[in-house]
């Protein structure tokens, strides 16, 4: 592709470093530039219209032009465009948001700390956990357990907690104190004849052994997404979290629920913790907290954790942690309005009403020659593409099958996201049944194009 001098694409290549990007490839191909959005649709700078099948990055829950959120931001900008929450300073948007969020949160948490991203929310949780154990005199109880293929962000601590090699390679991560237990993906790692429940038992036993081998007095917390989002929408096997929580209670290890993707109605309940019977000691959320209109995230803690760190702050003189933009008043005002919209526009009821159609269309791909597994819950799901359905044989990474299908989707006006060869779907919560059908009709065309191409190349087993 030849980039025209002084075009937006050329200027992008000249000046920007992009996240999650092969820079040399980007130099040759340039960016796809999105210019505007409305509802579940976005338009590029050439005027082409797309269904945004991933809600941006799992996040634009209310679509791309909700006027109430624009108005909330404008009003707050005109009133108090910035103030901080350091050293006992506060502002009404932050107070109102904290009160509203605590009214919606699981009963196991009681206080909230605001950050600017999911990565920061998890970093804050890690630091609070270390501070908490120091406060309780447990100075060795500091190890943090994540899961292989889990995703918790890309700041240095969060990247160490994340269990994906692509987020470690080249960065000298993970840091010390971070360890990982097994990936609970039943389709890939269940043994012959093993039921989901037995697989969940094996996963819990593996976690138990890991904690015992490390020493329970050294293990502080276990982090888990109720549904592994960036790992490919991996839903937990039956009884998994029930059994995991029993292990954690046995060893006095805190449970942190990472609801950055799963929270705010996505799984058919307000929190995915409700969907899967999780009672977290800490809960982190972001993304749909403000429908991603402005950066904000939250780290919620139980009263037990709060009381310990409050006592420590009194002894030490300060809880020495915070961000310039913690609880930024404009972001807080937009997040507060987002929570009001969820209630007043009955978004959860809407989600529940359209989930059957979404899941029906999603599971309809189970018989497609390229699809090995269909998985999902609520309004999030994935198809895992395989070379051979019978043996579950995966394509070679060099085949680039997920990327190829994604590009075919773009041709048909659909933006989705491949995680390896898992095609993921996470549309805005405001999507209609008709738009769900349109989304999957476009995906069907792309998937069939991919099948034709792979069959011609002799890479697919029909």
Please give the pLDDT value at position 155.
Answer: 97
Please give the pLDDT value at position 1.
Answer: 64
Q: What is the 3-state secondary structure (H, E, C) of the chain?
A: CCCCCCCHHHHHHHHCCCCCCCHHHHHHHCCCCEEEEECCEEEECCCCEEEECCHHHHCCCCCCCCHHHHHHHHHHHHHCCCCCCHHHCCCHHHHHHHHHHHHHCCCCCCEEEEECCHHHHHHHHHHHHHHHHHHCCCCCCCEEEEECCCCCCCCHHHHHHCCCHHHCCCCCCCCCCEEEECCCCHHHHCCCCCCHHHHHHHHHHHHHHHHHHHCHHHEEEEEECCCECCCCCECCCCCHHHHHHHHHHHCCCEEEEECCCCCCCCCCCCCHHHHCCCCCCEEEECHHHCCCCCCCEEEEECHHHHHHHHHHHHHHCCCCCCCCCCCCHHHHHHHHHHHHHHHHCCHHHHHHHHHHHHHHHHHHHHHCCCEEEEEEECCEEEEEECCECCCCECCCHHHCHHHHHHHHHHHCCEECEEECCEEEECCCCCCCHHHHHHHHHHHHHHHHHHHHHHHHHCCCCC
Please give the pLDDT value at position 459.
Answer: 86
What fold, for 32-65+348-457? 3.90.1150
The class (CATH top level) of 68-344 is alpha beta
Give how far the C-alpha of residue 170 lies from the chain's centroid of Cα atoms, to the nearest Å: 23
Give ranges for CATH 3.90.1150.10 in the chain.
32-65+348-457
Give ranges for CATH 3.40.640.10 in the chain.
68-344
Please give the pLDDT value at position 373.
Answer: 98
Please give the pLDDT value at position 120.
Answer: 98
Residue 46 main-chain phi, psi, to 5 deg: -105, 5
Q: List the strands of the sheet with 254-258, edge to edge.
A: 111-115, 297-301, 282-285, 254-258, 219-224, 143-147, 178-181
Please give the pLDDT value at position 10.
Answer: 96
pLDDT in tens, the chain (462 residues): 678 899 999 999 999 999 999 999 999 999 999 999 999 999 999 999 999 999 999 999 999 999 999 999 999 999 999 999 999 999 999 999 999 999 999 999 999 999 999 999 999 999 999 999 999 999 999 999 999 999 999 999 999 999 999 999 999 999 999 999 999 999 999 999 999 999 999 999 999 999 999 999 999 999 999 999 999 999 999 999 999 999 999 999 999 999 999 999 999 999 999 999 999 999 999 999 999 999 999 999 999 999 999 999 999 999 999 999 999 999 999 999 999 999 999 999 999 999 999 999 999 999 999 999 999 999 999 999 999 999 999 999 999 999 999 999 999 999 999 999 999 999 999 999 999 999 999 999 999 999 999 999 988 876
Please give the pLDDT value at position 2.
Answer: 78
């Amino acid at each position: 592709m030849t980039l025209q001098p002084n075009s937006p694409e050329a200027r992008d290549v000249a000046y920007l470093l992009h996240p999650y990007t092969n820079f040399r490839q980007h130099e040759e191909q340039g960016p796809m530039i999105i210019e505007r959005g409305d509802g579940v649709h976005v338009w590029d700078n050439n005027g082409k219209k797309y269904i945004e099948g991933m809600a941006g990055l799992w996040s634009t829950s209310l679509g791309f032009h909700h006027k109430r959120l624009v108005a909330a931001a404008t009003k707050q900008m005109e009133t108090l465009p910035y103030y901080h929450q350091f050293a006992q300073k506060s502002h009404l948007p932050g107070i109102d948001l904290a009160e509203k969020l605590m009214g919606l949160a699981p009963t196991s948490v009681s206080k909230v700390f605001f950050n600017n991203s999911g990565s920061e929310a998890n970093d804050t949780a890690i630091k609070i956990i270390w501070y908490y154990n120091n406060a309780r005199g447990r100075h060795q109880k500091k190890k943090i357990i994540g899961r292989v293929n889990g995703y918790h962000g890309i700041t240095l601590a969060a990247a160490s907690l994340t269990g994906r090699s692509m987020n470690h390679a080249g960065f000298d991560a993970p840091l010390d104190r971070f360890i990982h237990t097994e990936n609970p993906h039943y389709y890939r790692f269940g043994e012959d004849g093993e039921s989901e429940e037995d697989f969940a038992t094996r996963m819990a036993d593996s976690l138990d052994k890991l904690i015992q081998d490390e020493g329970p007095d050294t293990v502080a917390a276990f982090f888990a997404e109720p549904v592994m989002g960036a790992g490919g929408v991996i839903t937990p096997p039956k009884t998994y979290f029930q059994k995991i929580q029993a292990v954690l209670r046995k060893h006095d290890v805190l449970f942190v629920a990472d609801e950055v993707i799963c929270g705010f109605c996505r799984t058919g309940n307000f929190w995915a913790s409700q969907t899967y019977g999780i009672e977290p000691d800490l809960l982190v959320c972001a993304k749909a907290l403000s429908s991603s209109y402005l950066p904000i995230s939250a780290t919620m803690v139980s009263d037990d954790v709060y009381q310990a760190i409050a006592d420590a702050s009194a002894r030490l003189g300060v809880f020495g942690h915070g961000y310039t933009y913690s609880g930024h008043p404009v972001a807080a005002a937009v997040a507060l309005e987002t929570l009001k919209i969820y209630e007043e526009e009955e978004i959860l009821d809407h989600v529940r009403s359209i989930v059957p159609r979404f899941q029906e269309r999603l599971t309809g791909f189970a018989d497609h020659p390229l699809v090995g597994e269909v998985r999902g819950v609520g309004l999030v799901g994935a198809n895992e593409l395989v070379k051979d359905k019978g043996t579950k044989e995966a394509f070679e990474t060099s085949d680039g099958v997920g990327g190829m299908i994604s590009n075919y989707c773009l041709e048909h006006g659909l933006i989705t996201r491949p995680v390896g060869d898992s095609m993921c779907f996470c549309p805005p919560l405001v999507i209609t049944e008709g738009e769900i059908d349109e989304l999957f009709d476009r995906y069907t065309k792309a998937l069939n194009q991919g099948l034709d191409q792979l069959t011609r190349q002799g890479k697919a087993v029909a």
